[in-house]
Amino acid sequence: MMENLVQTIKNSVQTSMDSHFEHLHRHPEVAFEEQNSAKYIVDKLRQYGYEVFEGIGKTGVVGRLKNGDGIASIGLRADTDALPIVEKTDLPYKSKTEGKAHLCGHDAHTAMLLGAAEYLAEHKPFNGTLYLIFQPAEEIMGGAVAMLKDGLLEKFPMQAMFGLHNMPSLELGKIHFTVGPIMAAVDNWEIKLTGVGSHGSMPEKAIDPVVAGAALVMSLQTIVSRNVAAKDSAVVTIGAFQSGTVGNIIPQEAVLRLSTRTARPETRERVLNRIREITRLTAEAYEVKYEISESQPGAVLVNDPENTERATAVAQKVLGEANVVNPGPTFMGSEDFAFFAQQIPCVYGFIGNGDTPMVHHPEYVFNRSNLPLGAAYWVGIVQEYLK
């Protein structure tokens, strides 16, 4: 039965998915502003016969569909937010909102899940409880945490959750799985150095935060080269160094903004502790005061071994063995699906988008031939787990 799912999906819900995709692409909304996208999702789920729960994690939506007397339950998750980037394509369904666009494919992820939702509601090829999680604010690593804080897993208990993301550079239409850590934790910090300002001609009366900041930038670059094993992966990026206004004034403050990515939890702790230590010691050496503002703690996305192998087998039945890769690649990018994976067994896969510009690029285009493949995979997962 699974071998014919892709064609079955094309025959039954392809038109709907195309419509969802183009509508959402035309009307992008960024993190925690997805009110209209949420309303669109809610209307479709109710039309299909789902119980719908709104406002889970501010603009998140959960759909529930029960069938039969099965006690098992699983969740399928799609992200819904767009990016604050100007789209530079000539698509007939190009973004109509200035400065905002779906340049990561979340519109397609949502369309896939809505397509699967329609098919599953009509045919009900399962026995148990299905939860569809439409999560906001993935791009700022905030939506999953917000949904968890609103009691997602308490209100909607599930044995496992599954996610799927398109990935340019991977062969078109092939799904990739990897057991264990697959995406890095990201920690975005700000360090403020406070000195004493002065006229540029009298540096002896100043405590210069620019000099201290410059020394700190260089010292932080030693963390990966000298504190992380060569076989491990980590990145420490100082993406912003802001201080002063003109050349003849020694400023009072300097601000550094950091993005740190680590591939293992223990490496994350080591790197972050070294940032704290090096900042403290550099501040002491240059006699400036310092303040570190730490953001939402990052999390490495870790795939559950048993369920990853099981999902791989499902994908092989749906798409054919030649179109499923395990083990697949890992990435230093980050995904807040990791916070779900800290709570329950999770599986996150990548579907190849082919040779296109990378996600977050102004000319990125989702290859819509993946829509029926992703939807068929979702239906296959439901059939396997809710037998």
Q: Which residues are annotated as a binding site for Mn(2+)?
A: 104, 106, 139, 165, 360
Give the angle subtended at the CA of 174 by the CAs of 173 and 180, to the nearest 5°. Answer: 140
Q: What is the CA radius of gyration of the chain?
A: 23
Using DSSP's 3-state secondary structure scheme, residue 244 falls into coil
| Binding residue positions | 104, 106, 139, 165, 360
Q: Residue 94 and residue 363: Cα distance in Å, rounded?
A: 11
Placement of tokens 């479709």 in the chain: 44
Distances (CA, A) of 149 to 12, 50, 155: 37, 23, 11
Nearest to 87 by CA among 384, 364, 379: 364
Q: What are 248's two structure tokens?
A: 């003849």
Percentages helix, strand, coil for the chain (3-state, rounded to 5) are 40, 25, 35
**Residues 6 or more apart whose Cβ sits within 8 Å of residue 289:** 193, 194, 195, 283
Looking at residue 298, the DSSP 8-state letter turns out to be P
